[in-house]
Amino acid sequence: MYDVLIIGLGASGYTAAIYTARYKLKTFIVGAEDGGMGLTAAEVGNWPGIIDIKGPDLMENFKKHATSFEEVTHKVARVEKLEKVNEGFRLTLQGGEVVEGKTVILATGSAKRKLGTKGEVEFSGKGVTYCATCDAFFYRGKDVAVIGGGDSAVEGAAIAAQVAKTVYLIHRRNAFRAEPYWVDRVKARPNVRFVLERNVLEIFGDAKVKGVKLDTPWEGSDTIAVDGVFIEVGSIPSIGLATSLGAKLDPKGFIAVTPDQHTSAPGLFAAGDNTNESNYFAQFTTAAGEGAVAANGVFTFLQG
Protein backbone atom coordinates (compact mmCIF):
# COMPACT_ATOMS: atom_id res chain seq x y z
CA MET A 1 0.00 0.00 0.00
CA TYR A 2 1.57 3.25 -1.19
CA ASP A 3 0.84 6.55 0.50
CA VAL A 4 0.18 8.19 -2.87
CA LEU A 5 -0.33 7.09 -6.45
CA ILE A 6 0.61 9.73 -9.02
CA ILE A 7 -0.76 9.26 -12.53
CA GLY A 8 1.12 11.26 -15.14
CA LEU A 9 4.80 11.56 -16.05
CA GLY A 10 4.86 15.24 -16.94
CA ALA A 11 5.82 18.43 -15.14
CA SER A 12 3.05 18.31 -12.54
CA GLY A 13 3.42 14.59 -11.84
CA TYR A 14 7.19 14.63 -11.41
CA THR A 15 7.09 17.77 -9.28
CA ALA A 16 4.44 16.17 -7.08
CA ALA A 17 6.68 13.10 -6.69
CA ILE A 18 9.64 15.25 -5.66
CA TYR A 19 7.56 16.82 -2.91
CA THR A 20 5.84 13.64 -1.72
CA ALA A 21 9.26 12.01 -1.47
CA ARG A 22 10.55 14.92 0.59
CA TYR A 23 7.51 14.40 2.85
CA LYS A 24 8.70 10.78 3.19
CA LEU A 25 5.55 9.43 1.58
CA LYS A 26 5.82 6.10 -0.22
CA THR A 27 5.12 7.15 -3.81
CA PHE A 28 4.21 5.28 -6.99
CA ILE A 29 4.28 7.35 -10.19
CA VAL A 30 3.07 5.96 -13.51
CA GLY A 31 2.13 7.16 -16.97
CA ALA A 32 1.77 5.96 -20.53
CA GLU A 33 4.40 8.34 -21.91
CA ASP A 34 7.48 9.49 -20.04
CA GLY A 35 7.65 13.27 -20.31
CA GLY A 36 4.05 13.87 -21.29
CA MET A 37 3.23 16.98 -23.30
CA GLY A 38 6.60 18.42 -22.28
CA LEU A 39 8.14 16.32 -25.03
CA THR A 40 6.39 18.46 -27.65
CA ALA A 41 8.15 21.69 -26.61
CA ALA A 42 11.11 22.22 -28.93
CA GLU A 43 12.29 25.31 -27.08
CA VAL A 44 11.57 26.31 -23.48
CA GLY A 45 12.67 29.84 -22.74
CA ASN A 46 10.56 30.59 -19.65
CA TRP A 47 11.67 27.99 -17.11
CA PRO A 48 13.16 30.11 -14.29
CA GLY A 49 16.91 29.83 -14.01
CA ILE A 50 17.43 28.27 -17.44
CA ILE A 51 17.40 30.69 -20.36
CA ASP A 52 16.98 28.07 -23.05
CA ILE A 53 16.38 24.31 -22.89
CA LYS A 54 14.60 21.75 -25.04
CA GLY A 55 11.38 20.29 -23.66
CA PRO A 56 12.58 16.65 -23.67
CA ASP A 57 15.77 17.66 -21.85
CA LEU A 58 13.83 19.56 -19.21
CA MET A 59 11.54 16.60 -18.67
CA GLU A 60 14.55 14.28 -18.35
CA ASN A 61 15.81 16.57 -15.57
CA PHE A 62 12.42 16.34 -13.85
CA LYS A 63 12.52 12.54 -14.08
CA LYS A 64 16.09 12.25 -12.74
CA HIS A 65 15.22 14.47 -9.78
CA ALA A 66 12.02 12.62 -8.88
CA THR A 67 13.47 9.13 -9.24
CA SER A 68 16.55 10.01 -7.19
CA PHE A 69 14.48 9.48 -4.02
CA GLU A 70 14.22 5.99 -2.59
CA GLU A 71 10.58 6.70 -1.71
CA VAL A 72 9.63 6.91 -5.41
CA THR A 73 8.75 3.90 -7.56
CA HIS A 74 8.55 4.81 -11.25
CA LYS A 75 6.83 2.90 -14.04
CA VAL A 76 5.90 3.59 -17.67
CA ALA A 77 2.54 1.91 -18.31
CA ARG A 78 -0.99 2.76 -19.29
CA VAL A 79 -3.58 2.93 -16.50
CA GLU A 80 -6.57 0.83 -17.48
CA LYS A 81 -8.72 1.45 -14.41
CA LEU A 82 -8.84 3.54 -11.23
CA GLU A 83 -11.15 2.34 -8.45
CA LYS A 84 -12.04 3.40 -4.93
CA VAL A 85 -11.51 0.68 -2.34
CA ASN A 86 -11.99 0.70 1.41
CA GLU A 87 -8.34 1.35 2.15
CA GLY A 88 -7.92 3.95 -0.59
CA PHE A 89 -7.54 3.46 -4.33
CA ARG A 90 -6.63 0.65 -6.71
CA LEU A 91 -4.89 1.07 -10.08
CA THR A 92 -5.07 -1.60 -12.73
CA LEU A 93 -2.28 -1.21 -15.28
CA GLN A 94 -1.90 -2.64 -18.74
CA GLY A 95 -0.99 -6.28 -18.46
CA GLY A 96 -3.12 -6.66 -15.34
CA GLU A 97 -0.71 -5.38 -12.67
CA VAL A 98 -2.55 -3.96 -9.66
CA VAL A 99 -1.21 -1.20 -7.39
CA GLU A 100 -2.95 0.28 -4.35
CA GLY A 101 -2.51 3.57 -2.52
CA LYS A 102 -4.12 5.70 0.17
CA THR A 103 -4.40 8.78 -2.06
CA VAL A 104 -4.13 9.69 -5.75
CA ILE A 105 -2.82 12.72 -7.65
CA LEU A 106 -4.16 12.91 -11.20
CA ALA A 107 -1.50 14.68 -13.27
CA THR A 108 -2.88 13.40 -16.56
CA GLY A 109 -2.62 16.72 -18.39
CA SER A 110 -4.43 17.14 -21.66
CA ALA A 111 -4.76 15.65 -25.12
CA LYS A 112 -4.50 17.36 -28.50
CA ARG A 113 -7.80 18.67 -29.81
CA LYS A 114 -8.96 17.38 -33.18
CA LEU A 115 -9.95 19.80 -35.94
CA GLY A 116 -12.94 17.74 -37.02
CA THR A 117 -12.55 18.49 -40.72
CA LYS A 118 -12.97 16.21 -43.73
CA GLY A 119 -9.88 14.11 -44.44
CA GLU A 120 -8.33 14.58 -40.98
CA VAL A 121 -8.82 10.98 -39.88
CA GLU A 122 -8.11 9.52 -43.32
CA PHE A 123 -4.70 11.23 -43.58
CA SER A 124 -3.66 10.95 -39.93
CA GLY A 125 -0.09 9.64 -40.05
CA LYS A 126 -0.02 10.24 -43.79
CA GLY A 127 0.80 13.92 -43.59
CA VAL A 128 -1.53 14.98 -40.78
CA THR A 129 0.07 15.26 -37.33
CA TYR A 130 -0.66 17.09 -34.10
CA CYS A 131 2.81 18.27 -33.14
CA ALA A 132 4.67 20.61 -35.45
CA THR A 133 7.69 20.81 -33.18
CA CYS A 134 7.91 17.00 -33.08
CA ASP A 135 7.44 16.22 -36.76
CA ALA A 136 8.69 19.25 -38.68
CA PHE A 137 12.04 17.53 -39.30
CA PHE A 138 10.33 15.06 -41.65
CA TYR A 139 9.24 17.89 -43.97
CA ARG A 140 12.61 19.41 -44.73
CA GLY A 141 12.41 21.40 -47.96
CA LYS A 142 8.66 20.83 -48.31
CA ASP A 143 5.55 22.98 -48.03
CA VAL A 144 3.46 22.56 -44.88
CA ALA A 145 0.42 24.08 -43.20
CA VAL A 146 0.07 24.79 -39.50
CA ILE A 147 -3.51 25.28 -38.32
CA GLY A 148 -4.19 27.33 -35.19
CA GLY A 149 -3.45 30.64 -33.51
CA GLY A 150 -2.32 29.80 -29.99
CA ASP A 151 1.11 29.20 -28.50
CA SER A 152 1.55 25.68 -29.87
CA ALA A 153 0.56 26.71 -33.41
CA VAL A 154 2.69 29.84 -33.60
CA GLU A 155 5.68 28.19 -31.92
CA GLY A 156 5.23 25.20 -34.21
CA ALA A 157 5.19 27.41 -37.29
CA ALA A 158 8.38 29.16 -36.19
CA ILE A 159 10.11 25.82 -35.60
CA ALA A 160 8.83 24.28 -38.85
CA ALA A 161 10.06 27.31 -40.78
CA GLN A 162 13.63 26.36 -39.89
CA VAL A 163 13.43 23.29 -42.12
CA ALA A 164 10.38 23.61 -44.40
CA LYS A 165 10.38 25.42 -47.72
CA THR A 166 7.16 27.32 -46.95
CA VAL A 167 4.93 27.34 -43.89
CA TYR A 168 1.31 28.43 -44.27
CA LEU A 169 0.00 29.49 -40.87
CA ILE A 170 -3.79 29.20 -41.14
CA HIS A 171 -5.90 30.84 -38.44
CA ARG A 172 -9.63 31.49 -38.32
CA ARG A 173 -9.17 34.93 -36.75
CA ASN A 174 -7.18 37.99 -37.84
CA ALA A 175 -5.02 38.08 -34.70
CA PHE A 176 -3.11 35.46 -32.74
CA ARG A 177 -3.75 34.42 -29.14
CA ALA A 178 -0.16 33.30 -28.75
CA GLU A 179 2.49 34.83 -26.53
CA PRO A 180 3.95 37.94 -28.24
CA TYR A 181 7.42 36.39 -28.01
CA TRP A 182 6.41 33.63 -30.41
CA VAL A 183 4.39 35.95 -32.64
CA ASP A 184 7.50 38.09 -33.13
CA ARG A 185 9.57 34.99 -33.83
CA VAL A 186 7.22 33.68 -36.50
CA LYS A 187 6.83 37.07 -38.16
CA ALA A 188 10.60 37.23 -38.51
CA ARG A 189 10.61 34.05 -40.63
CA PRO A 190 10.57 35.06 -44.31
CA ASN A 191 9.15 31.71 -45.42
CA VAL A 192 6.01 31.89 -43.26
CA ARG A 193 2.82 32.92 -45.08
CA PHE A 194 -0.12 34.10 -42.99
CA VAL A 195 -3.52 32.79 -44.07
CA LEU A 196 -5.85 34.62 -41.69
CA GLU A 197 -9.62 34.66 -41.26
CA ARG A 198 -9.84 31.29 -43.01
CA ASN A 199 -11.04 27.85 -41.94
CA VAL A 200 -9.89 24.54 -43.38
CA LEU A 201 -12.85 22.69 -44.88
CA GLU A 202 -10.94 19.67 -46.11
CA ILE A 203 -7.55 17.98 -46.10
CA PHE A 204 -7.10 16.14 -49.38
CA GLY A 205 -4.62 13.90 -51.15
CA ASP A 206 -4.18 10.37 -52.43
CA ALA A 207 -1.79 8.07 -50.56
CA LYS A 208 -0.53 11.14 -48.67
CA VAL A 209 -1.61 14.72 -48.06
CA LYS A 210 -1.55 16.95 -51.11
CA GLY A 211 -3.24 20.08 -49.83
CA VAL A 212 -6.00 21.82 -47.91
CA LYS A 213 -9.25 23.43 -49.02
CA LEU A 214 -10.31 26.74 -47.44
CA ASP A 215 -13.76 28.16 -46.78
CA THR A 216 -12.73 31.46 -48.36
CA PRO A 217 -10.30 31.90 -51.29
CA TRP A 218 -6.82 33.16 -50.42
CA GLU A 219 -4.70 34.84 -53.08
CA GLY A 220 -7.16 33.75 -55.76
CA SER A 221 -7.60 30.10 -54.79
CA ASP A 222 -9.53 28.12 -52.21
CA THR A 223 -6.83 25.42 -52.07
CA ILE A 224 -3.20 25.42 -50.93
CA ALA A 225 -0.85 22.65 -51.99
CA VAL A 226 1.11 21.24 -49.04
CA ASP A 227 2.88 18.01 -48.14
CA GLY A 228 2.03 18.10 -44.45
CA VAL A 229 -0.61 19.52 -42.12
CA PHE A 230 0.12 20.22 -38.45
CA ILE A 231 -3.10 20.63 -36.46
CA GLU A 232 -2.44 22.81 -33.40
CA VAL A 233 -5.88 23.95 -32.24
CA GLY A 234 -5.43 23.53 -28.52
CA SER A 235 -6.04 20.66 -26.17
CA ILE A 236 -8.73 19.15 -24.00
CA PRO A 237 -8.21 18.12 -20.35
CA SER A 238 -7.83 14.42 -19.58
CA ILE A 239 -10.68 13.88 -17.13
CA GLY A 240 -11.76 10.26 -17.65
CA LEU A 241 -10.21 8.84 -14.50
CA ALA A 242 -11.56 11.72 -12.41
CA THR A 243 -15.13 11.38 -13.65
CA SER A 244 -15.01 7.60 -13.17
CA LEU A 245 -14.75 8.32 -9.44
CA GLY A 246 -17.43 11.01 -9.46
CA ALA A 247 -15.13 14.03 -9.23
CA LYS A 248 -16.88 17.23 -10.21
CA LEU A 249 -15.94 19.27 -13.27
CA ASP A 250 -16.18 23.03 -13.70
CA PRO A 251 -18.38 24.64 -16.41
CA LYS A 252 -15.48 24.48 -18.88
CA GLY A 253 -15.02 20.74 -18.42
CA PHE A 254 -11.86 20.87 -16.28
CA ILE A 255 -11.47 19.04 -12.96
CA ALA A 256 -12.69 21.32 -10.19
CA VAL A 257 -10.23 21.51 -7.31
CA THR A 258 -9.90 23.37 -4.02
CA PRO A 259 -6.84 25.53 -3.23
CA ASP A 260 -4.95 22.40 -2.06
CA GLN A 261 -5.73 20.67 -5.40
CA HIS A 262 -8.29 18.35 -3.75
CA THR A 263 -11.13 17.21 -6.00
CA SER A 264 -14.67 16.62 -4.75
CA ALA A 265 -13.77 12.93 -4.25
CA PRO A 266 -12.05 12.44 -0.87
CA GLY A 267 -8.39 11.48 -1.23
CA LEU A 268 -8.34 12.26 -4.95
CA PHE A 269 -6.20 15.24 -5.96
CA ALA A 270 -5.47 16.70 -9.40
CA ALA A 271 -2.73 18.96 -10.76
CA GLY A 272 -1.66 20.47 -14.05
CA ASP A 273 -3.41 21.14 -17.34
CA ASN A 274 -6.46 19.07 -16.39
CA THR A 275 -7.62 21.38 -13.56
CA ASN A 276 -9.36 24.72 -13.26
CA GLU A 277 -6.54 26.22 -11.20
CA SER A 278 -3.85 28.69 -12.41
CA ASN A 279 -6.39 30.52 -14.58
CA TYR A 280 -6.23 27.67 -17.16
CA PHE A 281 -2.71 28.85 -17.97
CA ALA A 282 -1.01 25.71 -19.28
CA GLN A 283 2.70 26.22 -18.66
CA PHE A 284 5.58 24.20 -17.21
CA THR A 285 5.69 26.61 -14.28
CA THR A 286 1.98 26.41 -13.45
CA ALA A 287 1.92 22.63 -13.83
CA ALA A 288 4.92 22.28 -11.53
CA GLY A 289 3.37 24.68 -9.02
CA GLU A 290 0.13 22.73 -8.90
CA GLY A 291 2.06 19.48 -8.50
CA ALA A 292 3.86 20.89 -5.47
CA VAL A 293 0.60 22.13 -3.94
CA ALA A 294 -1.08 18.77 -4.57
CA ALA A 295 1.73 16.98 -2.77
CA ASN A 296 1.32 19.31 0.19
CA GLY A 297 -2.41 18.70 0.09
CA VAL A 298 -1.88 14.93 0.16
CA PHE A 299 0.54 15.22 3.08
CA THR A 300 -1.95 17.33 5.07
CA PHE A 301 -4.80 14.98 4.19
CA LEU A 302 -2.88 11.93 5.40
CA GLN A 303 -1.81 13.73 8.56
CA GLY A 304 -5.41 14.62 9.30
Task: Examine residue 117 and state whether it is found in any structural domain, yes or no.
Answer: no
pLDDT in tens, 253-277: 999 999 999 999 999 999 999 999 9
Handedness of CA 42, 45, 46, 47 (dihedral sign): positive
Mind listing the pLDDT tens digit for each residue in 187-229?
999 999 999 999 999 999 999 999 999 999 999 999 999 999 9
Whether 131 sits among the annotated catalytic residues: the reply is: yes
Catalytic residue chosen out of the listed positions 3, 34, 135, 151: 135
pLDDT at 41 > cutoff 90:
no
148 and 221 inside one domain: yes
Marked catalytic residue, from 131, 143, 151, 273: 131
Q: Do residues 17 and 25 lie in contact, with contact meaning Cβ atoms separated by under 8 Å?
A: no
Q: Are residues 172 and 40 located together in one domain of the fold?
A: no
Which of 207, 231, 255 is where one domain is finished? 231
Q: Residues of the chain with pLDDT > 90: what percent?
A: 88
Q: 79-124: per-residue pLDDT in tens?
A: 999 999 988 999 999 999 999 999 999 999 998 899 999 999 999 9
- Any catalytic annotation for residue 135? yes
144 and 44 co-located in one domain:
no
**Is residue 121 domain-resident?**
no
> Across residues 264-293, what is the average pLDDT?
95
DSSP for 93-145? ETTS-EEEEEEEEE---EEEPP---BTTTTTBTTTEES-HHHHGGGGTTSEEE
Pairing of strands 235-237, 88-93: unpaired
Chosen domain end from 190, 208, 231: 231
Query: What CATH number should be reported for the domain holding residue 97?
Result: 3.50.50.60
The count of structural domains within the chain is 2
15 in the same domain as 73: yes
The question of whether 134 is a catalytic residue gets the answer yes
Point out the catalytic residue in the list 3, 34, 134, 143.
Answer: 134
Identify whether residues 275 and 245 lie together within a single domain.
yes
| pTM for the model | 0.86
Residues of the domain holding 46 = 2-112+235-303
Residue 118 lies in a domain: no
In a domain, 120, yes or no: no
Asked if 144 and 158 count as a contact pair (C-beta separation under 8 A), the reply is: no
Q: With left for phi above 0 and alpha for psi between -120 and 50, is residue 78 left, alpha or beta?
A: beta
Q: Which residues contact 290 (CB under 8 A, 6 or more apart)?
A: 12, 261, 271, 272, 275, 277, 278
